Amino acid sequence: MARILVVEDEADVAGLVALGLERQGHEVKVAGDGPQALDIAVDWGPDLIVLDVRLPTMDGFEICRRLRTLPQTSERPILFLTAKALLDDKLTAFKAGGDDYLTKPFEFPELVWRVRALLRRSQPLKPEYLRVGPLTLNCQIFEVQIGDKTELLTQVQFDLLSYLMRHPGQVFSNEQLLQVVWGYPPGVGSPALVRVHIRNLRQKIEPDLSSPTFLQTVHGHGYTIRAQMTCP
């Protein structure tokens, strides 16, 4: 199965999460703070990280940002597992590079389900390239190219953009994207998750954020990649 790093300073919570994931067949290591987590990440190269926010020495948001700079974890899915339930906390987590967010207290089957969904999305995808107009997406190394500009995408950014590029011209609502990209069942997941990642994608591919050329909003309906594009 997968190698999972659990970053949690509460020993009882960390133990329960680790034990439950091990019973699912995963190999699990636990870190109690940021420096230990980063050391394990470098040495071990986990397939997925479960990350608390309130931690000693550095918070989970900073750990996430640092994990995104490491070659071992730059593209690995990161699931925040925390008692911080405010929308601003969730937005901060996604901006830092998190892929999903689960608040405490939680039901363990939901954690297992989200871990499975994140691991499934992190598997290599075919074809090697997707092209829509001037956008070229390298599915092997998660890079998108627009003209002379090349940007590296996170796992969730790649999942979202690749899905839209596979269906150019089609409009997808927040709810549809939560189901087909994130793998959530109906009624689960926040539209804010989609909005944040749409904004982050636009920062990488759009020449003018105030007037998106490629990734467009169809007000009242959702988002689409334009089927017919020309370079601006």
Distance from C-alpha of 101 to C-alpha of 113, rounded to nearest angstrom: 13
Q: Which residues pair with 152 in a beta bridge?
A: 143
pLDDT tens track for 163-187: 999 889 899 999 989 888 887 777 7
In this prediction, the residues of the chain whose per-residue pLDDT falls under 70 are 123-127, 228-232
- Contacts of residue 128, Cβ cutoff 8 Å, sequence gap at least 6: 138, 139, 140
User: What pLDDT, on a 0 to 100 scale, did the predictor assign at position 125?
Assistant: 46
Say which residues have a Cβ less than 8 Å from residue 228's Cβ, sequence separation at least 6. 133, 169
Looking at residue 147, its pLDDT comes to 83
Pair type for strands 143-146 and 129-132 = unpaired
Distance, CA of 114 to CA of 118 (rounded, Å): 6
pTM: 0.59
pLDDT, one tens digit per residue, over 114-146 is 998 898 877 654 568 899 988 999 988 889 998
Q: Please give the pLDDT value at position 228.
A: 61
Residue 150 token pair: 């090349």
- Assigned CATH class of 3-121: alpha beta
What are the residue ranges spanned by the domains of the chain? 3-121, 129-225
For tokens 């490629």, name the residue: 214
Right CATH for 129-225 from 1.10.150.120, 1.10.3210.10, 1.10.10.10, 3.30.70.260: 1.10.10.10
Task: Say if 3-121 and 129-225 have the same CATH topology.
Answer: no
Distance CA 10, CA 76 (A): 24
For residue 124, what pLDDT is reported? 53
Q: What residues have CB less than 8 Å from 216, skipping those under 6 apart? A: 223, 224, 225, 226
